Structure 1
Amino acid sequence: MDIVIAGAGIGGLTAALTLHARGMGVTVVESARELAPLGVGINLLPHAVRELHELGLGEALQNAAATPAVIDFYTSEGALLFREPRGIEGGYGYPQCSVHRGRLQILLLDAVTDRLGPDAVRTGAGVVDFAESSTGVRVQTRAGEFGADVFVGADGVQSMVRRTLHPGPDPLMWSGVRMFRGASHMPAFLDGRTMAIVKGPDGVELVTYPIGGGLVNWVLQVGESEPGPLPGDANWNAPTDPAAVAAHMSGWQLDWLDPADLVARSDAVFEYPMVDREPLSHWGTRRVTLLGDAAHPMYPVGANGGSQAILDARALADELAAGHGVAGYEARRVPETAAVVRANREMHAGSPDELARVTAEYRRNTFADRSSE
């Protein structure tokens, strides 16, 4: 069986490795002319780390990543509300890995090149069109035509393959939150194996964690509007003013971190809308399907985006190798990922949200006596 995958991101490259391991021929077509280690941090949950271990990449991943043992929840006044164990310390068989997205992508790319050959990933080959027949799929790209038994769209949240398969209304749905992101050159805070979420006033929230290589990743979430379809003029991966971002954390009192210094130590600060899409009832056809963000973009709540793409890759390889085809893959993954999309929405909305309750109770008890000042 020959597979063509659109997109050389984490999901597409992992799929190439898993399909190759089952004896299938794989070509990855990528629109970018050069793959460089861009981006910021990503968390991989233990079930996704397990899959990379089974591909023989576990040691390389852990050498490139931090492996958090706990996640601490703070108020912006510095009070530790509670902590949760992660990875091995949380009782899982594999660690959680926090890593620079670009570093992980290059690790996967090197493995694909080593195992599948130097021509397995074709850059400058953005998909223009595709046509399915009873015998296969012809994929037209800017670098020529490719034939396949199965075509997989792993081409991200703005997927061309998804738009072609589902031409009706399919808007990005905005949570109303603007995310500011960076990776800072600095020593890891606390014991070096701690993630932290800091709840500030007015719903402002900082998520930060070390990602190895002398970097600390951070995401600042700032509410701007009610949820709804993403406006057409929304900034996406746009550079923004670090000083303006740091101002959202003015007055925070954390004895283990200076938020303004955290922002200032980033090479660049980017903004993104926090978005997902309504889950689809199916992803593709008999020979064409979707994977990762192309299939199920989700809020970055619970560190599930990249992890779910890796699980997609494993399920696709399992079902194709078993002879169940695209239908078997979608029967397995469509309901599972739709449940994660909806669960992430609920966690973001705070129902139930034990952290929000504890934070509110802390502030109510701490500042009650100051109301008459």
Structure 2
Amino acid sequence: MKIVIAGAGIGGLVAALSLHQAGFRDIAVYERAAELRPLGVGINLLPHAVRELTELGLGDAVAELGVAPSRLSYFNRLGQLIWSEPRGLDAGYAWPQLSVHRGEFQLLLAAEVARRLGPEAIRTGHRLVSVEHGEHSERARFERPDGTAHEVEAELVVGADGIHSALRAQEHPDDGGPVWNGLILWRGTATIPTYLDGRTMIMAGDGEQKFVAYPLAGETAETGMTRVNFIAERRAPEGASELADWNVPIDPAPIVERFAEWRFDWLDVPATIAAADEILEYPMVDREPLPHWRAGSSTLLGDAAHAMYPNGSNGSSQAILDARTLAFHLAGAVRGLGSSAGAVETAAAVRAALDAYEADRRPATAALLAMTRQLGPERVMQLAYERAPEGFADIHDVIPEAELREIADAYKRAAGFHPAALTERASLTPASVEP
């Protein structure tokens, strides 16, 4: 069986590795970029995603890339603590939460794909244009940088081609583009004095303005200094139009000014922003949930299927769960075919597997997308702002502890990493099909 994956991002690469682990051997990943480079800034891989990476044999390698946060703490604009909870191993999970550089993680996955599937498994410089659905197979059409076309026939096509997915646009032409909520994000990395315990992920602010920071590594060679990833966020002025570009390098000075008053006893926010190596500007966007992902023997995965706001730090983790679930169902469907199965039987099995994958993942991600639009677990900061905009003496006079805990637990349940449920869930590593 030939499998084509459009997109060599995190979701597409984990899909390739998972399908290979399941016993599929004819897999090709097509990537529009001419080369894979370590672009981007930090991301968080939550315990449910780290479980999947561990079952792929990558847990230790990924852990070496970054740091495992000990806690997640929410503060208001004055730096007053609203809610704090342990994370990963410190919270009793069997798997850590890991903060890593997105580009370095992507290159690790790409190197592992090349090692396991062969050096030709990733074909760069190929932009997906369209997919033609045949009775028994799919025909994917790609465009090269010189404008020439390349077509490939496969029994399965996976559209992991991101928020501007060509396959999504083809199958849902009236869907519209990414939806902007009016917030602008400024992302960067900086080396700053170590704050709190050196392993805490912090979020401060509310729905109008927010600052997030977390370590990407332990203390540097310079004692007392830590390299962190940060996200500064603020609502755009009324009447502003959506940004035209997603990776605009900008001068930090105006951003520093917007956060000039955010100097806490434990963290100097404007100094952190000013220390950035580079700051990239993004609009905060998501996509509307879709009525279906499958068309013929093709399906969507990751941001192509369910791009969502970063509230909850879950986008990459959900793409990993997509990839693992897809491989699990495909292996189960194909395993029962036998070596004499013809094109009709194979196509039917593939489409049944895609429907099972979608039944597992589409409702779950749609619910999570809706929750992120209500700020997800970060809602505690907005509640504190609405109920006590000038601050508080005791947060439990403003938000009862039971309410704080339920907000945190509800998000974990929706996202699939509530501790008990994650531990009890069956493995997504399937028995291998016959190669």
Deviation at 1:135, TM superposition (A): 2.0
Partner of 2:27, secondary structure, is strand
1:310 CA displacement: 0.1
Distance 1:356 1:166 in 2: 34
Paired position in structure 1 for 2:213:
208
**Structure 1 residues 296-335: aligned runs within 5 Å:** 296-323=306-333, 324-335=352-363
Deviations 1:79-138 (A, max 9, x none): 223311111222322111111000110110111010000000000111133212112112
Q: Percent identity?
A: 46
Residue number in structure 1 paired with 2:94 = 93
SS of match in other structure, 2:64: helix
Q: Would you say 1:358 and 2:368 are equivalent positions?
A: no
- For residues 334-362 of structure 1, the C-alpha deviation after alignment (integer angstroms, 9 at most, x for no partner) is 11110110111112697xx3333334437
* Partner residue in 2 for 1:6: 6
1:88 maps to a residue whose letter is L
Please give the per-residue CA displacement for 1:5-24, whole angstroms capped at 9, x wherever unaligned: 00000000000000011111
Q: Partner of 1:322: helix, strand, or coil? A: helix
Instruction: Tell me the distance in 2 between the aligned counterparts of 1:142 and 1:129.
Output: 10
Deviates more, 1:98-107 or 1:188-197: 188-197
The one-letter amino acid of 2:256's match is A
Moved more, 49-58 or 191-200: 191-200
Aligned twin of 1:370: none
Q: In the alignment, is the contact (CA less than 8 A) between 1:174 and 1:276 conserved in 2?
A: yes
Q: Secondary structure at the match of 1:314?
A: helix
Moved more, 78-87 or 266-275: 78-87
Q: Normalised by the size of structure 1, how large is the TM-score?
A: 0.91
How far residue 71 of structure 1 moved from its aligned partner, in angstroms, is 1.1
Which AA in structure 1 matches 2:217? G
Shift of 1:251: 1.7
Match of residue 113 from structure 1: 114
1:17 aligns to what? Answer: 17
The aligned counterpart of 1:104 is: 105
Per-residue deviation at 1:315? 0.6
Return the offset for 1:330.
1.1
Whole-Å separation in 2 of the counterparts to 1:203 and 1:129: 39
Distance 1:55 1:188, change over 3 A: farther
Match of 1:221 among 233, 238, 260: 233
Distance 1:87 1:342 in 2: 25
Corresponding residue SS for 1:274? strand
> What do the CA deviations read for 1:133-162 (whole angstroms, capped 9, x no partner)?
112112122352222110011011111111
Counterparts in 2 of 1:191 and 1:122: CA distance versus 1, 3 Å: same
Given the two structures, how large is their TM-score scaled by the length of structure 2?
Answer: 0.78
Q: Distance in 2 between matches of 1:187 and 1:111?
A: 35
What code does the residue aligned with 1:140 have?
R
- Pairing 1:345–2:373 present: yes
What is the RMSD computed on CA atoms of the aligned residues?
Answer: 2.2
Count of residue correspondences:
361
Q: Aligned partners of 2:361, 2:250: CA distance in 1, in Å?
A: 36
Q: Name the SS of the counterpart of 2:38 in structure 1.
A: coil
The AA in structure 2 aligned to 1:209 is: Y
Partner of 1:336 in structure 2? Answer: 364
Cross-structure match for 2:141: 140
Q: Which amino acid aligns with 1:263?
A: I
Q: 2:269 aligns with which of 243, 259, 268?
A: 259
1:233 to partner: Cα distance: 5.2
SS for the counterpart of 1:284 is coil
Secondary structure of the structure 2 residue equivalent to 1:295: helix
Is contact 1:177-1:225 (8 Å) kept? no
Q: CA deviation at 1:285?
A: 1.1
CA distance in 2, matches of 1:195, 1:21: 33
Letter in 2 for 1:108: L
How far has the Cα of 1:319 moved from its partner? 1.0
Do the aligned residues in 2 keep the contact of 1:277 with 1:297 (CA within 8 Å)?
A: yes
Residues 80 and 391 in structure 2, CA contact (< 8 A), matched pair in contact too: no
Gaps (5+ residues) in structure 2? 145-149, 221-226, 334-351, 394-435
